[in-house]
Copies of this chain bind each other. A is one copy, B any other.
Amino acid sequence: MPLSDMIENMARDAREASRHLRRLGRPRKDDALRLMAKMLSARREDIIKENRKDLVLAEETGLSPAMIDRLTLNGSVLDGMAEGLNEVADLPDPVGEITGMWKRPNGLQVGRVRIPLGVIGFIYESRPNVTVDAAGLCLKSGNAVILKGGSEAIHSNIILGRLLAEALHETGIPKKAIQVIPTTDREAVNVLIGLEELIDIVIPRGGEGLIRFVTSHSRIPVLKHYKGVCHVYVDRSASLKMAEEICYNAKVQRPGVCNAMETLLVHEAVAGEFLPEMVSRFRGAGVEIRGCPRCVALIPDVRTADASDWPAEFLDLILAVKIVTDMDEALDHIETYGSRHTEAIITTDYDRAQRFLAEVDASVVLVNASTRFNDGNQLGLGAEIGINTSKLHAFGPMGLEELTTTKFIVYGQGQTRH
């Protein structure tokens, strides 16, 4: 069967399954999630055996040790995946919630009820645990999902997809509710993102190249972020001890992720006191500093930042540092170079805190806390399938509720329109 027919058939099956999922109550979905968790444990050997095939290929193609590490499934990784599924089972079911109801002058009762989006196309790279995480969140929110993972994890993804479908089937849920595309052919992505009649939403997760490709070719709405160019602004009124702890955490705790700090903005009134010590602590952690001319003048051996550093998402132990003359300059810098992802201010000044919260255009804006908190779990959404920096649908981290929409329901007694 040609690839395009195969993908289209999968999408048709997913749509059919989604009609069933719409009507599914919470207990059945939770049963399936818990059974999936059990099967990850019971079928451990089978999974690890398939994962080995990916690892052998990865060695042959010379994948970096870091990539191979991310690809590896072992007992503790599988336990973590199972725990994640059980946690999703424990979360409330968003589907069916009445988010509002009101009565019109003509007697119509109008309400809004939460429903699944329908069919989700999820396109991602690398780690096979994402297959299970995403499938669990989609099931709990009543959505069918088609998963297209990275080619390096193909064997792992296929067996995980098979186990998940088996758990669905044993719980009386159509197994086409979770489908893994069983090919490494990149053309599959092209076909998938053209099926606008069958798929409701596409979520790409991976490198900026993948995401830009999907966004510019998809006929289906896409939820995504390209990159996270996150700033911390240390105000003149900041507690410098707090600023140091937060900046260090935001840059160093996990530099390769989208909510890590990439540029530090410091008010000139405190730069002299704050920066030398901060930079020396950063250097102790192996962070390379690229500074504005004033920063370079202040601290020996700092490399001068060039124009490409301010909009850069380093995803690495590199930090751009700029001294600003006032808060307006910090806000302008964020407006120009920020990616609408995560922005933080460190201040003890009430008015400036409120102004920063009100004026900064980003999915998460924080006062006196690390940018690393832009994460569905950390913010209390329970889990997250990704972060959206387009303003449509759900700005910021997307949990279960963000995988749903609402429809209007209307109770009448024969009303007609005049």
Contact = CB atoms under 8 A, between A and B. Distances in A.
Interface of A: 19, 22-23, 102, 104, 108, 110, 113, 115, 117-118, 196, 200-201, 215-216, 219, 221-223, 239, 242, 245-246, 248-250, 253, 335, 353, 357-359, 361-370, 372-374, 378-380, 390-397, 405-418
Q: Kindly list the 6 A-B residue pairs having the minimum CB-CB distance in the complex, ordered from nearest.
A: A369-B412, A249-B416, A372-B417, A366-B410, A368-B412, A393-B393
B373 A415 contact: yes
Given A22-B361, A358-B23, A407-B396, A368 B414 contact: yes
A335 B20 CA distance: 12
Contact of A201 (B215, B364, B391): B391
A259 B210 CA distance: 39
> How many copies of this chain does the complex contain?
2
A199 to B, nearest CB: 11
A344 to B, nearest CB: 8
A363 B414 contact: no
A382 to B, nearest CB: 12
Contacts of A248: 416
Contact of A364 (B102, B239, B407): B407
A253 B416 CA distance: 9
Contact of A359 (B22, B200, B392, B397): B22
Contact of A118 (B357, B361, B363, B405): B361
B408 A379 contact: yes
Contacts of A201: 391-392
Nearest to A368: B412
A42 B379 CA distance: 52
A409 B418 CA distance: 44
Contact of A200 (B215, B364, B392, B413): B392
A380 B414 contact: no
A18 B290 CA distance: 32
A221 B108 CA distance: 33
B408 A396 contact: yes
A249 B392 CA distance: 35
A335 B16 CA distance: 10
A397 to B, nearest CB: 8
B415 A370 contact: yes
A102 B399 CA distance: 16
